[in-house]
Chains A and B, each alone.
Chain A
Amino acid sequence: MEFKLEAHRIVSISLGKIYNSRVQRGGIKLHKNLLVSLVLRSARQVYLSDPCPGLYLASPAGSPVAPPQQPREPAARPPAGWEEPPSPAARATWQETEPQPERPATPGERRTDGAEPAASVTGTGDALRGGEAEAAEAAWRRVEGPREAEAGEPGGPAGDSDVFPEGPRAARRHCCCAPGREDKPGTPTGSPRVDCCCMSRPAEDEPPAPPPVCPRKRGATGVGGGTAGCPAPGSTPQKKPRRNLEEQPGGGEEEEEMETGNVANLISIFGSSFSGLLRKKSPGGGREEEEGEESRPEAAEPGQICCDKPVLRDMNPWSTAIVAF
């Protein structure tokens, strides 16, 4: 279990480094980013290989296991956040973020509904971080959508708990979509958003945490959405021509850019959580609390929500490995 936590921490640190590298003087250093991406991969592998207690898969609906209400300072440092098993935190945040995306979620209260029976609910963790985690998980779930669906998701049938399904969506909403969207938490068809693999936050994702509901629901729209690519909100970022970290779907363009597409795809795989780092505008207030990301100023590259091709292309190799972060 400790490995998982450490892996989480390392993942978040790594993504922070990748983000910071964009604003460093002298341009993106290919070597360093490659090494960071390798660490990311290692951490993910450990994550996936470390068998976690299957509690994550428990049905969230109707059995709100209130995660320990612990004071979560919004700006908790990453390590702190890792004390607790991501999932409960995540869920809690989902709920928070969903109704009030702008508010730096104070997790505590809202935990109740649908809080997934956390396997080992210990910690506090940072609400936002949790949210991010959720978002990330959501994205991962998206990838896994179909599978989970079969896996007999505990989450309950369609449209069950509004909270959870919203959660990821909300988180995603955070991450990539225009602020405007945030007031519609319950939009079931956040499909555009749904597939945003924008990463709003370093993916501190617990693998299985999010309610299966999520995937399933995503399954409906998600997978479809995935295939459809990221519509509306995505479109805006997609239009952005410049990609620093992100690789053009076509793979290294002729133009000898200094590409770190490898890294970019990793990031896209990690899912929703990253857009906050990449986008110029931070959707809603929640972002400020995110650990580590000090400066969003330069995020000139509006999120490469490269949801379609690059993601799809990578979905196959990665999806098998991804077990729902």
Chain B
Amino acid sequence: MVLQSSKRHYRVWNHRRLGPWCSPTGSPAPLSCETGCGEGSWILVCRLLVPTQVSLLSMEEDIDTRKINNSFLRDHSYATEADIISTVEFNHTGELLATGDKGGRVVIFQREQESKNQIHRRGEYNVYSTFQSHEPEFDYLKSLEIEEKINKIRWLPQQNAAYFLLSTNDKTVKLWKVSERDKRPEGYNLKDEEGRLRDPSTITTLRVPVLRPMDLMVEATPRRVFANAHTYHINSISVNSDYETYMSADDLRINLWNFEITNQSFNIVDIKPANMEELTEVITAAEFHPHHCNTFVYSSSKGTIRLCDMRASALCDRHTKFFEEPEDPSNRSFFSEIISSISDVKFSHSGRYIMTRDYLTVKVWDLNMENRPIETYQVHDYLRSKLCSLYENDCIFDKFECVWNGSDSVIMTGSYNNFFRMFDRNTKRDVTLEASRENSKPRAILKPRKVCVGGKRRKDEISVDSLDFSKKILHTAWHPSENIIAVAATNNLYIFQDKVN
């Protein structure tokens, strides 16, 4: 294994000086805290367009040109498939929000600092750093192209001034260090200010270089590359609570890595059958317990979850707990297996529950009860009668993610037509909201949406047949401590905030 040798730094000018990308209007909007809407109403903080290559190139240009480019992006929605956001993740404090896209890029947004004179801008996220994490590769041996799409990003807890995150595509995991530089050394003896070497014979005095302030620069460097450990497509990564190890899971195997060691990993789960013809299920997601560094769970395409304890044995093929809900025979159809496949599994912050997402439902399981979930929420049950069409257009294979809020009282997941749903576990209330450009006025209050399933459609309701299945919310994230959510809709990133906040 060869460690990556790239020493490229990705430098991004500080956008805070030049104005935020995020605000479409270009000016801060007044904080509308007067208009009360009752608890649980959400307002749009900002809609972020991941800057495309066009705009990145223009960063050196003057402000006017950038404004023009901004508006071009905004109005014409110029986006390629490479801009489609494929993962969203807040860091542990919520100050940073990272997105990965299909083009292999990672864009990190930072929350606007609260300041006296710009109190209205608090809560907005601006671009902090952008870098190309993965490039398309070609496996010549197998004649396979390896997509550069970022499947997952996971932050490491901050231990010093720099930020660290893991990003992965189908085959390779990388550890990135994102750091700020606001000073630079000046006064070298052998180099002049532009960096050109000086003729030693012209040097008559010596001086000590000093650090002088400079414009803030954020640079991202790849610190580790964990490659060549997965034959199948990586679907999950999860940082262990010991902050020393992490795991990566593909369809059939889960590997445990140490952050410091890139040329070997431990295989802790292997469900590949000796005879591939006997393959019946694959691993779909995996996550470490938030507090117990020996415990992790992984979900399967059969709708089951296995909890494993690494203390039990080196190879955790035998689970410690097995969570499965008996299938409802009345719902059997051709597609029962597909819709029972779990697309995401998440521990609650408390570590007491796990939440799983399959095609039509979200389920909350108590770790102490294996035979059935304690809560089941229907996300879009009206699709149950349309499974055949969804199978034809491949929508049935969409992998929706699910998230907990900071207090584990509300869960959220996405749906079609740019709808996303929130379920309050305590009050048993749920709401459907839409992330759309029409509601993109800053501080606009989101109106709950409703899908009409019956014949009679009320005003403001939308019928199932009018749903746009090309607009799907697969990736969402919830701030770890506040009611701020990030919703990825194709190439747009919406940040919403609870109005009560």
Contacts and interface: CB of A to CB of B under 8 A. Distances in A.
A252 B233 contact: no
A262 B278 contact: yes
A53 B458 CA distance: 46
Contacts of A258: 142, 144, 231-232
Nearest to A38: B337
A242 B388 CA distance: 33
A222 B279 CA distance: 30
Mostly, the B contact residues are loop
Contact of B388 (A10, A251, A260): A10
A26 B282 contact: no
Interface string A1-42: 000001100100100010000000111011110110011001
B275 A30 contact: no
Contacts of B334: 6-7, 10, 39, 42-43, 46
A189 B388 CA distance: 42
A256 interface: yes
A82 to B, nearest CB: 12
A137 interface: no
A256 B235 CA distance: 18
Given A32-B397, A34-B279, A27 B388 contact: no
A39 B391 contact: yes
Interface in A231-276: 242, 247, 251-252, 256-262, 265
B231 A27 contact: no
A242 B276 CA distance: 16
B284 A31 contact: yes
Interface in B66-89: none
A35 B147 contact: no
A242 B144 CA distance: 12
Contact of B335 (A29, A34, A39, A259): A39
A35 B337 contact: yes
A30 B337 CA distance: 15
Nearest to A248: B276
On chain B, which size bracket covers the interface? 35 or more
Nearest to A41: B337
B216 interface: no
B279 A262 contact: yes
B121 to A, nearest CB: 40
B233 A26 contact: yes
B252 interface: yes
**Most chain A C-beta atoms within 10 Å of own C-beta, residue among B149, B273, B334, B341:** B334
Nearest to A39: B334
B338 interface: yes
Nearest to B251: A30
Contacts of B272: 252
Interface string A298-309: 000000000000
A155 B196 CA distance: 92
Contacts, number: 95
A314 B275 CA distance: 13
B392 A251 contact: no
Interface residues of A, number: 32
A261 B233 CA distance: 17
Nearest to B394: A17
A30 B278 contact: no
B170 interface: yes
Given A32-B397, A35-B397, A252-B274, A13 B338 contact: no
B276 A247 contact: yes
B388 A6 contact: yes
Contacts of B149: 26
Contact of B170 (A6, A26, A252, A314): A26
Contacts of A261: 275-277, 279
Nearest to B147: A26
Contacts of B301: 31, 34-35
Contact of B146 (A6, A17, A26): A26
Interface string B278-316: 111110100000000000000001000000000000000
B274 A251 contact: yes
B64 interface: no
B60 interface: no
A34 B282 contact: yes
Contacts of B170: 26-27
A39 B338 contact: yes
Interface string B235-256: 1000000000000000110000
Nearest to B279: A262
Interface in A98-149: none
Contact of B276 (A7, A17, A43, A259): A259
Nearest to A26: B147
A260 B142 CA distance: 14
B145 interface: yes
A7 B279 CA distance: 23
Contact of A10 (B143, B251, B391): B391
B277 A30 contact: no
B164 to A, nearest CB: 27
A13 B394 CA distance: 10
Identify which of B277, B278, B280, B397 gathers the most chain A CB atoms within 10 Å of its CB.
B277
B276 A29 contact: no
Contacts of A314: 277
Contacts of B388: 6, 10
Contacts of B282: 30-31, 34
A32 B170 CA distance: 15
B275 A252 contact: yes
Given A30-B252, A247-B276, A251-B276, A257 B142 contact: yes
A257 B167 CA distance: 24
A27 B146 contact: yes
Contacts of B232: 30, 258
Contacts of A42: 334-337
Contacts of A30: 232-233, 251-252, 279, 282
18 contacts: A10-B388, A17-B394, A26-B149, A27-B170, A30-B232, A30-B282, A34-B279, A35-B341, A39-B338, A242-B143, A247-B276, A251-B276, A252-B274, A252-B275, A256-B231, A258-B231, A260-B276, A262-B280
Given A32-B397, A265-B277, 17 more contacts: A10-B334, A13-B391, A25-B145, A26-B147, A30-B251, A30-B279, A34-B279, A38-B338, A39-B337, A39-B391, A42-B334, A242-B143, A251-B276, A256-B231, A260-B276, A261-B277, A314-B277
Interface of A: 6-7, 10, 13, 17, 25-27, 29-32, 34-35, 38-39, 42-43, 46, 242, 247, 251-252, 256-262, 265, 314
> Which 9 residue pairs spanning A and B have beta carbons closest together?
A26-B147, A252-B276, A261-B276, A27-B144, A251-B275, A259-B276, A38-B337, A256-B231, A30-B251
